Amino acid sequence: MHPRPRPGRLLAATAVALVGACLAAACSTGDDWSRPHAAPVAVGALGAGFLEPDSTPSPEATITPRSGSWDEVHPSKGYRVVLITAGDDAPTRALVTAVHDWADDEHVDLRTITAADAHDLIPTITEAIAMGPDLVLSAGNDLVDPLAVVTASHLDQQFLTIGAEVAEPTHNVTAVDWSGAAFRGEGLEASTAYDPTTFTAARCATAVRAGVAAVLTGHTGIVLWID
């Protein structure tokens, strides 16, 4: 007759099994960003009208893609994005919501970092870069000037700003703007009068998808105008 296992041993064995299962689950869902990661690719292709025929946008150019020409472009599985935010104004909140909704729809691995105050803006950006994401996406006008300081020193990291733009972007900084947005930093006028009411849920959602499609297909360092 075999001896019955003691309760303590059963609990220990159960705990070990649960830990192992949790670790396996974390690895399989890609939660551990320290593990090797395949370069992201665009799933799908841009539609007609995203770019002018037989043209390649010059650096810092502004293009006006046809509405919906980005709809068939999606990120590949495991796309890693860090959203950096600053401020609690209505436009920033609308952008943050749009990014989270997009990430849920596309099964993106999204992390969010919020700057606590003005002194935390550059540290927030450098923290995001250190995480090694495929894309750093910013929401909030307060981040524009700090991004101008940091991005040129990290040319291997892709950045996307929504509703704002760096005045002199390098090839790794892409922006999406529209009439009522296009904040360009302190001391620089916006391309149009700033209007917070233009940051509607639909507009912000469109801007996120258009901007990510541009980055995924290699059209970076430009401004997308989506009026």
Domain residue ranges in the chain: 1-32, 42-225
The residues pairing with 160 across neighbouring beta strands, listed in sequence order, are 137, 174
What is the DSSP track for 123-163?
HHHHHHHHT--SEEEEESGGGHHHHHHHGGG-TTS-EEEES
Q: Which residues contact 111 (CB under 8 A, 6 or more apart)?
A: 80, 81, 82, 83, 131, 133
pTM of the model: 0.84
Nearest-angstrom CA–CA distance, 63 and 225: 6
Model confidence pLDDT, tens digit, residues 111-124: 999 999 999 999 99
Model confidence pLDDT, tens digit, residues 18-58: 444 433 333 334 468 988 889 999 999 999 999 988 778 88
Output the pLDDT for position 58. 85
Q: Which residues of the chain have pLDDT under 70?
A: 1-31, 186-192
Structure-block tokens of residue 49: 């009208």
Nearest-angstrom CA–CA distance, 158 and 49: 24
Structure-block tokens of residue 88: 């609690």
Q: What is the CATH number of domain 42-225?
A: 3.40.50.2300
